[in-house]
Amino acid sequence: MESSKKKKTAIEPTREQDYPEWYQQVIKAADLAENSPVRGCMVIKPWGYSLWENIQQNMDKMFKDTGHTNAYFPLFIPVSYLEKEAEHVEGFAKECAVVTHSRLVPGEDGKLVPASPLEEPLIVRPTSETIIGEMYARWVQSYRDLPILINQWANVVRWEMRTRLFLRTAEFLWQEGHTAHATEAEAVEETEKMLEVYRVFAEEYMAMPVITGLKTEGEKFPGAVNTYCIEAMMQDRKALQAGTSHFLGQNFSKASGIKFLSESGVQEYAWTTSWGTSTRLIGGMIMTHSDDDGLVLPPRLAPLHVIILPVLHDESAKNSVLEYCESLKKEIAAKTYAGREVRVDIDKRDLRGGEKMWGWVKKGVPLRVEVGPRDIAKDSLFVARRDTGEKKPVSREEFVANLPALLQEIQDNLFARAKKYRDENSAEITNKEDFYAYFTPKNEKKPEMHGGFAFADYDGSEEVEDMLRKDLKVTVRCIPLEGGKPKGDKCIFTGNPAKYRAVFAKSY
């Protein structure tokens, strides 16, 4: 039993008690997703999938506004394609779904067994650089055919051993942009432009503050020259890589043969980029904002902005309450927020008021509006904010008029709160001893509640990275684009000349 001092929460355990389990329970209570019987593959349930639809719609618009179009490439990649880029194959061959047959026939015991072996095995795409590169090589002859600016919304498969809903699953949904350019400068510009799209999306839509930076050699995408990333802090102070944008140089264009006749008449290899975000964003959103009562959603991406809860226990007033709610719903739905219509619904289910209310708390809807016979008499609504827990009566007129501003206030509050949390859990560290202390749990029972983001000068060596990974399970999250230059002269670990000021953290 809980100690009597403790406030009863809708989610058990709490974040403090057991963060990983809290995360699973938040997902379950909000009915977002669940594990499927297919190893490592999740089922995204309607409430979770509508988060993905909102992510897609908003991000897709940003891609189109920056000149990209969508297309679709094959699910399968011939093994020989994967082999074309040495680092790439190294990175993906270890965990991939291999298709070897094209038919099933009854075996000796009557059970189906694979038949008709393929001449060449195929893998289910873990990412599509090689198959898309092959197509670009066919499409590009002259500099006039460049740039190619294409994005794909698709499913991909990486045979991960340890999976967690949204954060790491064998199959996941994502978008992968693949572009080809005539010059290096243009490709670098594209890589940085898409990183900026990701930053804006994370901060303005997900209300999730991120650090933009460059990955180190050991952490970059297999085959990339440079990997840019956005890194966010979760409420267990671990880092989550939420999106990556890769400058691929000419590595993949050489592997795939993307050549063009330049304006000056010379055969050149194109410069390519790729960039991706995935359903992992949903995991990041959950872990950034949710609390011990369940999911908390930023209004920009919430499937519903407002849930109206009619108080129906007085049978004689039932019809008039429902009528009032319908007219309120109509009035609210006519408003717009952030350029789209306000999403509102009425929960007419025959459930106890508390059960109904808690259901929507756990689903993270930003605003709950209770309407009972007494409220109608006063033309007043009882409004509850999910982010602050504040509950108060508001006149209907004021509520409706102020709704878009209130939703933005909630959006801004979530961002400010997450940023404050991150900043309070970041430290500037100037010596190895402090660094090790920072990442060493003081309380063995709450190992997750220590550490955070450590900013420190280091020599950029793989030796330091290997040591920290081994000793502390800490990695360089990125060399920040702003503030990545060392503050001092020396690496705090080796005393060698400092090369970067990096962000170090434990991570997902």
**Residues making contact with a copy of itself (CB under 8 A):** 36-38, 41-46, 48-50, 52-53, 69-80, 82-83, 89, 93-105, 111-114, 121-124, 131, 134-135, 150, 154-155, 157, 159, 171, 173
Q: Between residues 69 and 440, which has the closer beta carbon with respect to a copy of itself?
A: 69
What residue has token string 């994502």?
A: 174
| Cβ contact 285:279 at 8 Å | no
Give the DSSP letter string of 415-466.
HHHHHHHHHHTEEE--SHHHHHHHTS-SSTT-GGGS--EEEEEE---HHHHH
Q: How far is the CB of 159 from a copy of itself (least distance, A)?
A: 4
Q: Between residues 72 and 266, which has the closer beta carbon with respect to a copy of itself?
A: 72
**Non-local CB neighbours of 57 within 8 Å, separated by 6+ positions:** none
H helix intervals, 103-174: 129-139
Q: Between residues 260 and 324, which has the closer beta carbon with respect to a copy of itself?
A: 260
Q: Between residues 173 and 344, which has the closer beta carbon with respect to a copy of itself?
A: 173
**Non-local CB neighbours of 505 within 8 Å, separated by 6+ positions:** 231, 233, 237, 238, 239, 451, 452, 453, 454, 474, 475, 477
Q: How far is the CB of 1 from a copy of itself (least distance, A)?
A: 29
Q: Please state, in angstroms and rounded to a whole number, the distance separating the CA atoms of residues 131 and 227.
A: 20
Q: Please state, in angstroms and rounded to a whole number, the distance separating the CA atoms of residues 36 and 169.
A: 11
Q: How far is the CB of 64 from a copy of itself (least distance, A)?
A: 10
Q: How far is the CB of 29 from a copy of itself (least distance, A)?
A: 15
Strands (E), 279-379: 306-310, 336-337, 340-341, 344-346, 367-371
Q: Token pair of 488, please?
A: 């001092």
Q: Between residues 94 and 470, which has the closer beta carbon with respect to a copy of itself?
A: 94
| Cβ contact 400:308 at 8 Å | no
Q: Between residues 121 and 373, which has the closer beta carbon with respect to a copy of itself?
A: 121
What residue has token string 């226990």?
A: 313
Q: How far is the CB of 160 from a copy of itself (least distance, A)?
A: 10
**Non-local CB neighbours of 298 within 8 Å, separated by 6+ positions:** 205, 206, 207, 285, 289, 366, 410, 411, 414, 415
Q: How far is the CB of 316 from a copy of itself (least distance, A)?
A: 26
Q: How far is the CB of 258 from a copy of itself (least distance, A)?
A: 15
Q: Between residues 71 and 334, which has the closer beta carbon with respect to a copy of itself?
A: 71
Q: Between residues 100 and 319, which has the closer beta carbon with respect to a copy of itself?
A: 100
Q: How far is the CB of 136 from a copy of itself (least distance, A)?
A: 11
